[in-house]
Amino acid sequence: MGRIGWTGISAVVLAMAFPAQAQAPQVESDGYTRYELLAPGSHKFRILYEITASTPGATAYFNPIRPGSTATDERVTDRATGQPLKFGVVPGSVAKAEGVRSAGPDGEYIRVELARPVPADGGEGRVFIDKTYEDAKSYYQDGNTIVFDRPLGVKRNAVVLPAGYELVSCNYPAQVLQEADGRIKIAFWNNTPAQAPLVIKARPSPGLAAAPSSMAKALDERAHQNREIVYFLNPPETHSFDLYHDYTESRPGVGTYVNIVRTGSAASKPSARNLDTGQPLKWELMKGADILKADPAEKGVTAETEAVVFHFDPVKPGGSARLRFSETYTDPDRYKLVGDELVWHRSFGRPLNTVVLPAGWVLTNSSIPGTVTQTDDGRTRIEFINPRTDEIDVVLTARRRQS
């Protein structure tokens, strides 16, 4: 099947279909790409791309077609509903006029019409793009070895080998996981600001595809996990911090999320909303046996366990919901003032965690490597990416800025 959409229409006509309008810069987040290598010698690989349009009010999203690659068999859907989205291929001039500041005049982009404008204040327009690339420079054979040599700018990636091929080498630290159908998957999270210069080599291994691993369902792909959390520290004398955690629910029929309050912490001021629609969600505080009534599968619940239980519209088959839960925690043991020094000590299990220091405080120690930036209001922001499946034990210290 060839390209779906406005195939054969000239760039001029496309530009007329999407007239140039001044737009806010395109902002995107939560990118994840899965590359499925097709038949050796075809130079083709299927790309399954999950991306979130984050520009408030945006009604379209632009996905670049990499120079040197020939794209076919495109299909675009709305991840919230699973329904198809209208799209077409446009020149870089159209993309630049509608917010892609880096777009060049010779580039090509898939322009996706979003199902709804991106809600304000952190809302999201989640898109799924399925396409096939042919690129002899990126995917080729060297004798009986296949080579996938492609710099990857998206931070979360997976490459799936053809059936019956074993991994010979991978130059980037990655998980190696066997899928239920026997294919080998190489998955990683690039926690650097540069592209990952990925080179994967594989060769035929008779019988491999016929003997899938018994661990196929037990091992989780870290790069595809979708939970993230941001902590906003209040003055340390309060021992309190505001937080929100984002989570994607894709199990059909599920309409409840139970957030267990960590022992030693007290939760207050809960709120929640659906990031796809901006709709606020209902919540209630529960303890002990009531938690199990809300979710019988919840583990480790005792009579003293506390939780905030959030309710949302049950997920429909083929769709998903992107949810944001916000709370204020008080935890004197893990967040305090020691002398004149702020001390934060907390373990993180999610792959992506961010801590924002109080206004007027200077970072002095971070026990775990993180990326440091400044927020728009001048607060220090430390982002921790853990590509491993274990927890990281984070200790931060800070001192008041002297005027």
**Domains in the chain and their CATH numbers?**
11-224 (2.60.40), 228-400 (2.60.40)
Q: Which amino acid is at 388?
A: R
Question: Tens of pLDDT along the chain (403 residues)?
Answer: 344 443 333 343 444 444 444 578 999 999 999 999 999 999 999 999 999 999 999 999 999 998 888 889 999 999 999 999 999 999 999 999 999 999 998 899 999 999 999 999 889 999 999 999 999 999 999 999 999 999 999 999 999 999 999 999 999 999 999 998 889 999 999 989 999 999 999 999 987 766 777 777 788 999 999 899 999 999 999 999 999 999 999 999 999 999 888 888 888 899 999 999 999 999 999 988 988 888 888 888 998 898 999 999 999 999 999 999 999 999 999 999 999 999 999 999 999 999 999 999 999 999 999 999 999 999 999 999 999 999 999 999 999 998 7
pLDDT of residue 294: 86
Closest by alpha carbon to 367, among 377, 355, 376, 350? Answer: 355
Asked if 291 and 309 count as a contact pair (C-beta separation under 8 A), the reply is yes
Residue 403 and residue 401: Cα distance in Å, rounded? 6
Backbone dihedral angles phi then psi of residue 196, each to the nearest 5 degrees: -85, 120
Instruction: Give this prediction's pTM.
Output: 0.89
pLDDT of residue 263: 83
Length of the chain: 403
Q: What is the pLDDT of residue 22?
A: 55
Cβ-proximal residues to 314 (8 Å cutoff; 6+ apart), any chain: 252, 253, 254, 255
Q: For residues 348 and 3, give the distance between their C-alpha atoms in angstroms, rounded to a whole number.
A: 44
Confirm if 65 and 110 have CB atoms less than 8 A apart. yes
Q: Which residues contact 272 (CB under 8 A, 6 or more apart)?
A: 280, 281, 282, 283, 310, 312, 323, 324, 325, 326
pLDDT at 2: 40
What's the confidence (pLDDT) of residue 8?
A: 33
Give the list of residues 6+ apart from residue 225 with CB closer than 8 angstroms, or none: 350, 351
* Cα separation of the two ends of the chain: 65
Sign of the alpha-carbon dihedral angle for 164, 166, 171, 175: positive
Residue 58: CB atoms within 10 A of its CB come to 21
